[in-house]
Amino acid sequence: MDITIQHDPANHRFSTEVDGHEAELIYRLREDRMVIEHTGVPEAIGGRGVAAQLVKAALDHARAAGWKVVPACSYSAVYVQRHPEYADLLA
């Protein structure tokens, strides 16, 4: 599933809309670290890889910005474990 993800840096948020439902990833910045606090996908659009695409977008953004990442929410932590290509980002 190919979706468009928006980044709202002022609110530390990545989001997308699928079939009229909004999914989001919320993070905070601590110096040069992105702390991923929450990944939320409504049940109506669950199981389609939306959360994975949100986390990937956040990790790719962190890499481009030169930030380390703290995957504080459980989904992002599992994602990083399953995708070792992002292990170098871990703080």
Q: What is the pLDDT of residues 73-91, one digit of tens each?
A: 999 999 999 999 999 999 8
- Strand ordering across the sheet containing 21-30: 6-8, 13-18, 21-30, 33-40, 68-71
Choose among 19, 81, 11, 22: nearest CA to 54.
22
Largest CA distance in the chain: 36
Give me the pLDDT at residue 2, please.
Answer: 80
pTM over 0.75: yes
- Mean per-residue pLDDT over the chain, rounded: 96
- Which domains, from first to last, does the chain contain? 6-89 (3.40.630.30)
Q: What is the bridge-based pairing of β-strands 33-40 and 68-71?
A: parallel
Question: Which pair of structure tokens corresponds to residue 38?
Answer: 């929450």
Give me the pLDDT at residue 66, please.
Answer: 97
The partner residues of 24 in beta bridges, in order of sequence, read 15, 40
Q: What is the pLDDT of residues 9-54, one digit of tens each?
A: 999 999 999 999 999 999 999 999 999 999 999 999 999 999 999 9
